[in-house]
């Protein structure tokens, strides 16, 4: 399977800025390596514009940064999988640590979104990760197990390995410039792989595991070649098209 080189633009970029970034990135990656694909998780207001830029461009996909677990109704401020698809998305993120910490999303709620979005035809990247306190307190495995197992609790046992991905993002490495070292990434991705195989004995070996947390052009090539690293989820360094291009080609 291709390595998934994903950009999380978070709450950045107006429509014009998003169009410009998407167009620059596409033009600069006209010869994308066969083993790479790019997914941009753009803000809602820029999705339709990015979809226009991506139309017919092989290897580029679009995703929402969040989704709700109902298809319509009185849920002010929320967005449904059908709305994301209508805006041109094929992908969505669930469980980003900022959603968990700032917006108090529980693993149970994230699990509902994950299962519903998959059922509605979106490819889901479920984000999991521990805080520094949890890691230093010896709780790494229990935290990741809770987030992963509850996050996929209602997912069909036969889910396709191309529809579900896990992004391991240690909270202490997000936006801090503090990247996890190769040993920490290797150990933790092996642990996530073990949890995935326990839950999905068939596809658990091939469901992609992305690393995220201060990925930059100068550390991406080391990270992407590690065992069980099947892609990256890039925040800050993805906002600049030239830097995202270097990461995609790392």
Give the active site residues. Answer: 96, 169
Closest distance to ligand PGA from the beta carbon of 14 (Å): 19
Q: Tally Cβ neighbours within 10 Å of residue 36.
A: 17
Q: Which lies closer to ligand PGA via its Cβ, residue 107 or residue 214?
A: 214
Coil, strand, or helix at residue 234? strand
Q: Got the DSSP string for 8-24?
A: E-TT---HHHHHHHHHH
3-class state of residue 61 by DSSP: strand
* Residue closer to ligand PGA, measured from CB, 155 or 233: 233
Q: Give me the least distance between CB of 41 and ligand PGA, in Å please.
A: 8
List of residues 6+ apart from 133 with CB closer than 8 A: none
**Radius of gyration, CA atoms only, the chain:** 17
Q: Which helix (H) or strand (E) holds 37?
A: strand 36-41
Closest CA to 110 of 130, 90, 124, 131: 124
Which residue has the CB atom at the shortest distance from ligand PGA?
Answer: 235
Residues that bind ligand PGA (CB under 6 A): 8, 169, 174-175, 212-215, 233-237
Handedness of CA 15, 19, 91, 245 (dihedral sign): negative
Minimum CB distance to ligand PGA smaller for 88 or for 212: 212
Nearest to ligand PGA of 200, 211 (CB atom): 211
We find the least distance from the C-beta atom of residue 161 to ligand PGA, in angstroms, to be 22
- What is the spatial distance between Cα 94 and Cα 65, in angstroms, rounded to a whole number? 7
Comparing CB distances to ligand PGA, the nearer of 9 and 54 is 9
Helix segments in 64-103, DSSP class H: 81-86, 97-102
**Nearest distance from C-beta of residue 212 to ligand PGA, angstroms:** 4
Q: Minimal distance in Å, beta carbon 8 to ligand PGA?
A: 4
């Amino acid at each position: 399977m291709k390595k998934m080189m994903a950009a999380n633009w978070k709450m950045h970029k107006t429509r014009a800025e998003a169009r410009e970034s998407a167009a620059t990135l596409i033009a600069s990656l006209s010869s994308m390596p066969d083993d790479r694909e790019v997914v941009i998780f753009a803000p809602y207001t820029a999705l339709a514009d990015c979809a226009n830029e991506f139309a017919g461009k092989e290897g580029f996909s679009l995703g929402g940064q969040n989704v709700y677990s109902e298809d319509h109704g009185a849920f002010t401020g929320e967005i449904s999988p059908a709305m994301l698809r209508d805006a041109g998305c094929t992908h969505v993120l669930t469980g980003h640590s900022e959603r968990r910490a700032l917006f108090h999303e529980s693993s149970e709620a994230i699990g509902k979104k994950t299962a519903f979005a998959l059922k509605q035809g979106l490819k889901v990247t479920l984000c999991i990760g521990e805080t520094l306190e949890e890691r230093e307190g010896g709780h790494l495995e229990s935290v990741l197990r809770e987030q992963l197992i509850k996050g996929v609790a209602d997912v069909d046992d036969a889910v396709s390995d191309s529809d579900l991905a896990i992004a391991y993002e240690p909270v202490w490495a997000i936006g801090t410039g503090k990247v996890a070292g190769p040993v920490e990434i290797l150990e933790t991705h092996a642990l996530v792989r073990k949890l995935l195989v326990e839950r999905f004995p068939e596809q658990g070996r091939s469901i992609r595991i992305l690393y995220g947390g201060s990925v930059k052009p100068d550390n991406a090539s080391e990270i992407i070649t590690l065992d069980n690293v099947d892609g990256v989820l890039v925040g800050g360094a993805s906002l600049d098209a030239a830097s995202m291009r270097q990461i995609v080609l790392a």
